[in-house]
Amino acid sequence: MIDLLTAPFVEFSFMRRALAGCVALSVSAPPVGLFLTLRRMSLMSEAMSHAILPGAAVGFLVAGLSLPAMTLGGLAAGLAVALLSGLVARSTVLREDASLAAFYLISLAAGVMLISLKGSSIDLLHILFGTVLALDDDALWLLGGIATVTLAGLAVAFRPLVLECVDPLFLRSVSRASAPVHLGFLGLVVLNLVGGFAALGTLLAVGLMLLPAVTARFWAADLGGLIPAAIVAGLAASFAGLLISYYADLPTGPAIVLTAGGLYLASMVLGPRGGLLWRLRPGRHLEA
């Protein structure tokens, strides 16, 4: 049994690299996704994951399938869309979610168009769905750096982030940190989406950010338990997804995200914090 779990990683270096990249992504992305869900901004991450596509496409046009060029382009495009959507929301009658949706659709279409001008359908699939089994040293350094910056940033801004989730109006009234913290948090979201893009592609980058985060809500009640639970769910999905894709000969990125989805569905039924089975359990006599 142990051999079945370890043999692919012992025998093949590309499996070890894929596991290392997924571990780095699982440590950094789920905590960010957790704050997104607490702030009711879950769908924003999906829009932002597509917003990085035109920047990555420009990097592809300039340097081909070069990770540094596509990463810098994607980071610039994601930050630009985040700032522009906020600016439009503050300058016009549109709400931020509506302006973000508009920019996301424009970005997605523009990115696909730019890639189609030079690349083949294989290049397009590579960018949209990623190649986690082809991670090289540059990609691992990128994912490790993103994980380090993310954890350090969350540690520094932890208290104002929590307060903004609970009572953003109070934070604005007692501190000037609200706007910088919000912008910094959006920067961390974009960073982790860029990391997810390098491993899982544009369409699946948000999978390891949100699914472990919503899974954790069924296992813990406060942030002290939610963050570790989300990280463990991400690590479990990554490890199991890699094994499933190896033994069943399935695409690796979708296998990882579907495994994370399976953990979410199982937690929705079995989780002790509001799972369906626990809700159906009869309460004790005279229990409040």
| The predicted structure's pLDDT at residue 42 | 76
Task: Name the 3-class secondary structure at 142.
Answer: helix
pLDDT tens column, 211-227: 999 999 999 988 889 99
pLDDT tens column, 260-283: 999 999 999 998 888 888 877 766
d(CA 81, CA 87): 10
d(CA 199, CA 213): 19
For the cut 90, the answer to whether the pLDDT of residue 83 exceeds it is no
d(CA 176, CA 229): 32
d(CA 197, CA 107): 15
Percentage above 90 pLDDT, the chain: 31
pLDDT tens column, 162-193: 887 777 777 777 777 777 887 888 888 888 88
Task: Name the 3-class secondary structure at 159.
Answer: helix
- State the average pLDDT over residues 191-199: 84
For the cut 70, the answer to whether the pLDDT of residue 4 exceeds it is yes
| The predicted structure's pLDDT at residue 243 | 94
Type of residue at 60: F
Burial class (CB in 10 A: 0-12, 13-18, 19+), 282: exposed
Whole-number average pLDDT of the chain: 83
Task: Name the 3-class secondary structure at 119.
Answer: coil
For the chain, what are the domain ranges? 2-279
Q: How far is CA 242 from CA 24, 211, 235, 273, in A?
A: 14, 17, 11, 28
Fold of 2-279: ABC transporter involved in vitamin B12 uptake, BtuC (1.10.3470)
Type of residue at 83: L
